[in-house]
Amino acid sequence: SPVSPIHVYTPREVYGTVGSRVTLSCSFWSSEWISEDISITWHFQAEGTRDSISIFHFAKGQPYIDDVGSFKERMEWAGNPRRRDGSIVIHGLEPSDNGTFTCDVKNPP
């Protein structure tokens, strides 16, 4: 079956201050319709490490915050897949939140 790309857009850098909140924007575009099976996963790689952990999933129409790491009590779903938005909010920023966040979108046929 043919495969169509999904273009995912995130800001190159996002800044926040300790104790504040920050929105991690993730927008996407696909030439295909957005299916009910769309999934969005956010990963985090702490600065100076090689390992990436999954911190958030959106699947089957529901947000799921991974029960691992320091983000589990501080995350909020801010996206709307029908509007091609997979954004999340992190509250109570900590110095250890510095690193690389990756938004991965899958739109199965």
pLDDT digits (tens, 9 = 90+) for 14-39: 999 999 999 999 999 988 888 889 99
pLDDT in tens, 51-75: 999 999 999 999 998 887 789 889 9
Query: Rg for the chain (alpha carbons), in Å?
Result: 14
According to DSSP, residue 71 is labeled T
Structural domain including 93 reads 6-106
| pTM more than 0.75 | yes
Looking at the structure of the chain, the number of domains it has is 1
Which 3 state secondary structure label does DSSP give 52? coil
Asked whether residue 49 is assigned to any structural domain, the reply reads: yes
Could you tell me which of 105, 92, 89 has the C-alpha nearest to residue 14?
Answer: 89
Question: What is the per-residue pLDDT for 16?
Answer: 95
Asked whether residue 1 is assigned to any structural domain, the reply reads: no
25 HSE (CA, 13 A, CB side): 9
